[in-house]
Structure 1
């Protein structure tokens, strides 16, 4: 019998496996991933930002894990020779009405134990000479990395320590008994003492297969990016973010220098018609019908109707997209941009139409389900792995609390 089966070979599943191997070196651990390689979905389509945690509610898992995670991610990359750059970022107020929110963000950063600096217009221009802003915040702890490379290294280290990685296997059935869990894939069966669900975009479905009916559903939102042409990359030194709208759940379009030197601009955020829908034309009748038949979706759609329509318009209009970018960098023109990558965010949504804003972990008798791991999950992955590994050790074990 296997000690642990982990469903999902993204950065969270790999970090959990890595942490378990460190805490229980003799344990037999099997990762089951439906794709032919690791980090194919949310991890492989990530912006590559190492987040500081400035946006998150003090005391939340997000805030705690982001701060610790940014430090452990940097250390991991340095230890294993992976490219990483703690370059810092600026958050820019472009209108008078944003100054109060900028001040609130500054205070939140302090409350979360971060080093943050308020910037005047002149100080902002010293850091990012092409930005248009009234004031800003500098967050030195933010950085950039390639999370696909991090995941591949985690997989390599896990296998070196005796872990098993099963690729191209899709989970089709789970039976949780008192003393074990039977896991059926389209390639065979596993019997395990414990199962840990790190399936990301499909985490709610895996939980349902195990017999857990959640009070939330994963709704996929696609983030679409452009890239600056190489000759225009000088417009962005590092990371440039707007002051987020406190009434809208996404951060807004921003500029990100990637670890390879490219500069991404975006994203907008639109409903994806497929859970793994990276193109506008991607469509799944099952995925879309699940979303449209979900009461919670219509409640949040009604609440953010105006913002949602603007996001859709920007998705189909490069001109509107550029106008939004010009609020931060007026020099950017339509001809400076080429189509970039897209990613899909697995967003937990309650039946009441509320976004699940923090990490959401459901415990069964012999199963753990990470059912909502939004940004900064990649940043925080090593810390999430440690936390989940600790929780897994307490599953159905007398005397442990």
Structure 2
């Protein structure tokens, strides 16, 4: 199934760039929808799921946050049920835990009520709770009101990605980044830094943090740029303080959910993430700076427009990143018993956030097509939850392009 990159040439029907959960779900869907299709997946790292897929909080999202009718809403609701079924079929550890979304200030109550309505429109079971009922679920959590969402769960998405890779039957080549793409009437040729050349009839770009660059290598204008946001986590030293998943009421102006508490599949509790601008697309700490990535961000007009519009929010997130005390205070709004000593630094992740030229943070999944190419240009959370239906959608588009070619 997998192999290390090396000089040579491979021919295939569909070439998928990116071995995260969306790319691997696409390869898996191609095998189901069109058995016999020759599929190659190129992944620049030495194994799958090394970036967004393997560095998130492991939540199977219900779909309650997303605008009814949007791709996110449709795919998350369907994807959550399919993910649970997939994990059960393949013996992957998972649990449907449910979660609380808790309002801690009066200004959050209208937004909490709006989430109840949105959940019902999306067909999600939602129970409204008062302060006393919150403690039935989470004795240490305090709030003015909350909602319980029963279909939320937890899983290790790295395990899911590895199973998808195995089930896809695709040839997966690790260890070489794409550095040249040549589009011709007969197909697309791709070269990697390991010296491998792959000729394909159709290309699928699932490159995540590098997806806009891959689109431009093909000659297509993505109309957006990836602006990376790092999410930093802590581990809770007293995991018994939290039984399940506890979230704040999100601000609908931003595609981030705020600092939350997530009991993982291994029993530990993650606290986070925040959302701070990263100085590299794969910058998992303040010390990682890549001048090319920073230059790309500064050259994109949308970055400046976004910064002007949201600088107050960004300044607060940076403050919580640099000050453990400030981060702790954000957590204490939900869980008053927490102290700074209870929080131990954990790994971080980077979100590949698409930003349009006018500074808009793209909220929905964004998939664009060009000649012989399908580009997945925005697939942050809940993409892992929704990966099975997203993979089918991308695969259908790739197969349509294949037929047209």
Question: For this structure pair, what is the TM-score category when the shorter chain's length is used for normalisation?
Answer: over 0.9
Which aligned pairs between 1:62-211 and structure 2 lie closer than 5 A? 62-158=72-168, 161=169, 163-186=170-193, 187-211=195-219
In 2, Cα distance between equivalents of 1:56 and 1:381: 16
Asked if 2 retains the 8 angstrom alpha-carbon contact of 1:116 and 1:137, the reply is: yes
Aligned counterpart for 1:356 among listed residues 362, 370, 379: 362
Match of 1:297 in 2: 303
C-alpha distance after superposition, 1:320-347 (max 9, x if no partner): 0001100001000011110011000000
Structure 2 runs not aligned, ≥5 long = 1-10
Pairing 1:289-328 to 2, within 5 Å after superposition: 289-328=295-334
Q: For 2:296, what is the secondary structure of its paired residue? A: helix
1:396 Cα deviation from its structure 2 partner: 5.6
TM-score by length of 1: 0.97
Residue in 2 that maps onto 1:48: 58
Query: What does residue range 282-293 of structure 1 map to in structure 2 within 5 Å?
Result: 282-293=288-299
Partner of 2:6: none
1:247 Cα offset (Å) = 3.0
Q: Residue 371 in 1 paired to residue 377 in 2? A: yes
TM norm structure 2 = 0.96
What is aligned with 2:233? 225
CA offset digits 1:57-82 (Å, max 9, x no partner): 00000000000000010000000000
Partner of 1:347: 353
The whole-number CA distance in structure 2 between the counterparts of 1:21 and 1:396 is 14
Give the whole-Å Cα distance in 1 for the aligned partners of 2:252 and 2:27.
36
1:57 to 56, 67, 70: 67
Q: Report the Cα distance in structure 1 between the residues aligned to 2:25 and 2:370, rounded to whole angstroms.
A: 21
Equivalent-residue separation in structure 2 for 1:105 and 1:169 (angstroms): 43
How far apart are 1:249 and its partner, in Å?
3.3
User: CA RMSD, aligned part only?
Assistant: 1.1
Structure 1 residue runs of 5 or longer lacking an equivalent are none
Counterpart CA distance in 2 for 1:259 and 1:343 is: 18
